[in-house]
Amino acid sequence: MKTIGIMGGMGPMATVDLMKKIILATPAKNDQEHIPMLVDNNSQVPDRTKAIMGLGASPAPEMVKSAKRLMMAGADFIIIACNTAHYFLPEILPQISIPVLSIIDVATASIKEKGFKSVGLLATSGTVRTGLYQKTLEANGIECIMPVAEKQHLIDDMIYDGVKAMNEDYDTTAVRELLAEMQAQGAEAFILGCTEVPVAVSMYGLEGTFIDSTDELAKAAVKFAKAEISDGTMIA
């Protein structure tokens, strides 16, 4: 089996969620049948959304440090416990010699396989601004519905003031109303396009038809570690 390298800390709870989902996705009968994981929980990576918005330092230097530590420690490939961070991969990939499995690609592949034609995107403002999901979904014939501009902050606030702040009592009333609005606009399902959003769904009991990007990445990582896939989802 290949060893999975997890570039984590963005945020820490999302990293743990990804690890748990890898374990749950592994068909193992004992400890030895589980897949080796190396985790770099680098909580010092600057905020990705702030960097994209021009309000903070680039996360790329710290991401490179994480990637190199994982590579030197023996990881055979890397997965990243953050959707927004994928925007900075062009700066990271030339500096490492192992592949990275894209959360954007595997989530989109799952949406296509499930037959959804229109999905709502629940992600950070940074991910929305980059167009990472919009471009990939549209290239696969899938409509991407986003929150109206004046309500995007509701998702950001839930991520930052709710999950990242470990606020279990965060009020998600406005988020629930937003999901209903996006459904009315034609969203057949929602892609959880930030690794904190699946945590929020569990923490706050949000309801809907969800495509969990973290879970899709976990399942794809298990298959790749077992050499069961080679379907073009890798970023070379």
Could you report the per-residue pLDDT of 25-34, keeping only the tens digit for each?
999 999 999 9
* Dist CA 77 CA 71 (whole Å): 8
Contact assessment for residue 40 and residue 64, using Cβ atoms and an 8 Å cutoff: no
CA proximity to 62, closest of 75, 76, 80, 77: 80
pLDDT, position 227? 84
Distance CA 217, CA 152 (A): 24
- The H or E element containing residue 40 is strand 37-41
Q: Is the peptide bond before 11 cis (omega within 30 degrees of 0)?
A: yes
61, two tokens: 């230097």
CATH number 3.40.50.1860 given to 104-213: yes
What is the predicted pLDDT for the residue at 236?
44
Question: Where, residue-wise, is CATH 3.40.50.1860 in the chain?
Answer: 4-102+215-226, 104-213
* pLDDT of 89: 96
- Helix (H/G/I), strand (E/B), else coil: 83: coil
Candidates 50, 60, 39, 5; CA nearest to 159 is 50
Query: What pTM value is reported for the model?
Result: 0.92
In this structure, how many other beta carbons lie within 10 angstroms of the beta carbon of residue 142? 20
DSSP 30: S
Low-confidence ranges of the chain (pLDDT < 50): 231-234, 236
Assigned architecture for domain 4-102+215-226? 3-Layer(aba) Sandwich (3.40)
**How many angstroms separate the most distant Cα atoms in the chain?**
50
- The model's pLDDT over 98-156, given as tens digits with 9 standing for 90+, comes to 999 999 999 999 999 999 999 999 999 999 999 999 999 999 999 999 999 999 999 99
Kindly list the catalytic residues.
82, 194
Q: In this structure, what are the phi and psi dihedrals at residue 8, rounded to the nearest 5 degrees?
A: -120, -165
